[in-house]
Chains A and B, each alone.
Chain A
Amino acid sequence: MVKKLFLLLVLQFFLSPAFAQEITVTASTDTSDYMIGDQIQYSLIITMNKNVYIINPFFRDSLKNIDVLGINGPTLEETETAKTVKYLCILSRFDSALVTIPAIKVEYRTKGDSTLKTILSNPVSFNVHRLDVNVKEEIKDIKPPVRLFDYFFLIYFLIGALILSILVYYFIYIKYFKKKKEEIVVKKEIKLLSHQLALKKLDELDKEQLWQKGFVKDYHSRITDIIREYFEKQFGLPALERTTTESLNLLNKHPLGVKVLDITSQFFNNADLVKFAKFTPLEIVNHEMMTQAKHIVKRTAQLDKEEEVINVNEDANV
């Protein structure tokens, strides 16, 4: 009997490599006790010989009332003689129970053998427990309420400091920097009629003595511009944007303008010669231009026309 046992042990020792299991499937969890909602890390490790080929196991979305949140893998690790395929499933359960994940079926073939074989993993059991509630204790807040009193105090302090600084600044300003009360300057509007404005401008031009200083062309340009502007304001003719002939044609259609048509024609044509033809007029012509300009304005002035007034701002002390 002893001899037989000894023989069996010897045979077991020598023949074990020949009969070593080709594939093993091990399932496990990281712990055996979870709280409701915890992530359960369920791993499936398939270790096999090099000549074994597995068909990837199928994981469903839920396993016996356990939600499968995600599956990482398979990851393959190889040594000279064996290879290992790992799956890591993240599971969760939202009810307390003692749970057993059943065995996972893995199908495989060995090299040179077309037979499809099956191996099962070990079932895994673990406990999912509830949160312990102490019913004897009073119900209380998770976090105490925020108290804002300190901030209000800071705001009151800042407002007070601001008011105080304004008062101090005002006191210093009144005492040291405030000058004597300035005289109030009121801009009084003096309304000039268009002919008054034109005559005023002509007088100013005359005082400048442009042609006497040799600026004959400028003098003729300015004097014609004053008259053209006057026509615009007095008769509503767009004289500034019109040529001499066009302006005269427009003037001819105006009842007041007709009165000065001839003199205006002479006035503009003389100016055109100086402005555009480098013509140097006699001194008497320059004098005459001013006389003609004033004559044109005076003859066409409408003293009773109140709506055609020009606002001129002039400074005046009150």
Chain B
Amino acid sequence: MDIVALNEKIKNESAFIDLLMSEIGKVIVGQKVMVERLVIGLLGNGHVLLEGVPGLAKTLAIKTLAQAMKAKFQRIQFTPDLLPADLIGTQIYNQKDGNFLIRKGPIFSNFILADEINRAPAKVQSALLEAMQERQVTIGESTFKLEEPFLVLATQNPIEQEGTYPLPEAQIDRFMLKIVITYPERAEELAIMRQNISMIETKVNPVISPEEILKARHLLTEVYIDEKIEKYILDIVFATRNPKQFGLNNLAELISYGASPRATINLALGAKAMAFIKRRGYVIPEDVRAICLDVLRHRVAVTYEAEAEEITSENVIQEILNKVVVP
């Protein structure tokens, strides 16, 4: 397709993004990056891991997103005594007819907020992550496809680590993005305060249907990504694995292991989604850089030496971005 026509098409089809953002903005003050990344996850068909202290509107954001999309939303509080059946559902014996009935769990929704995912034991995490990957759930002998769009937003509290079951690296790799939420700005906090004490209930109107999201996902495949951008993505990912090849000798001792091929895929997908949100039919290096930290921060592990020096994976990624030549 001609790039001008494609650009025009994307511009028209992505118009709902502004509507969606403004509808969410009625309730969520600030946190633009978080909301934008949620939409990227939604468009890129990937799941999002959120890290932030309590009270930063994580639940409210995803609930509002669900309301703005007329989609089903469930919040599951992960606790140490949670069982996989509490999540995916179970079979119940019906005494009347002597048969087993299937009772579907809360996972059968469009949007799931897995609150404090690291509080539940590994078997529950596995059940959720398997559902995330396969997009289907098996209860007894029956397999059920999960309704699309299906987006899991898992949260981790970075403060309290006692009595938690940290997600293994293989599991954490399944999240397309990991977003670190910070406190709102002073002006934003003031607006939050005023909004919450005014007792005026803000109604969120559904502005987009799940079908439209699926259509947008399909359109996302048409967003043009040039060979130069692809090479740039590969350079970044490879620099996490072999920093010396990119003149980053100082990082070689700091990186325990680099990003997986899933990171490459998600970086490309995320960049496309970012271009779509910016209402462009093609990806530019800005899109890659904008999404890079969120895609890579949970996929690049730093060594003990780096931890001792208080160097995080984000510092490492930032240094890579500062060194890899932009096309």
Contact = CB atoms under 8 A, between A and B. Distances in A.
5 contacts: A246-B289, A275-B327, A276-B226, A276-B283, A277-B281
Contacts of A221: 228, 327
Contacts of A272: 284
Given A246-B286, A275-B228, 20 more contacts: A221-B228, A221-B327, A238-B322, A241-B321, A242-B326, A243-B284, A243-B285, A243-B286, A243-B289, A246-B289, A272-B284, A275-B226, A276-B226, A276-B283, A276-B284, A277-B3, A277-B224, A278-B224, A278-B226, A279-B4
Interface of B: 3-4, 7, 224, 226, 228-229, 280-286, 289, 321-327
B224 A241 contact: no
Contacts of B7: 277
B246 to A, nearest CB: 11
A240 interface: yes
Interface of A: 221, 238, 240-246, 272, 275-279
Given A276-B228, A276-B283, A278-B282, A240 B3 contact: no
A240 B325 CA distance: 6
Nearest to A272: B284
A244 B281 contact: no
A191 B274 CA distance: 45
B322 A276 contact: no
Given A277-B226, A279-B3, A245 B325 contact: no
Tell me if A's interface is mostly helix, strand, loop or mixed.
helix
Contacts of B327: 221, 275-276
A136 B128 CA distance: 111
For the complex of A and B, list the 5 residue pairs with the smallest distance between their C-beta atoms, beginning with the closest: A277-B282, A243-B285, A243-B286, A278-B3, A276-B226
Contacts of B4: 279
A244 B285 CA distance: 8
B286 to A, nearest CB: 5
Contacts of A276: 224, 226, 228-229, 282-285, 327
A248 to B, nearest CB: 11
B3 A244 contact: no
Contacts of B283: 276
Contacts of A243: 284-286, 289, 326
A124 B7 CA distance: 121
A241 B322 contact: yes
A242 B327 CA distance: 9
B326 A241 contact: yes
A237 to B, nearest CB: 12
Contacts of A242: 326
Contacts of A275: 226, 228, 327
* Residue in A238, A240, A241, A277 with the greatest tally of chain B CB atoms within 10 Å: A277
Nearest to A224: B327
Contacts of A278: 3, 224, 226, 282
A49 to B, nearest CB: 81
A276 B226 CA distance: 5
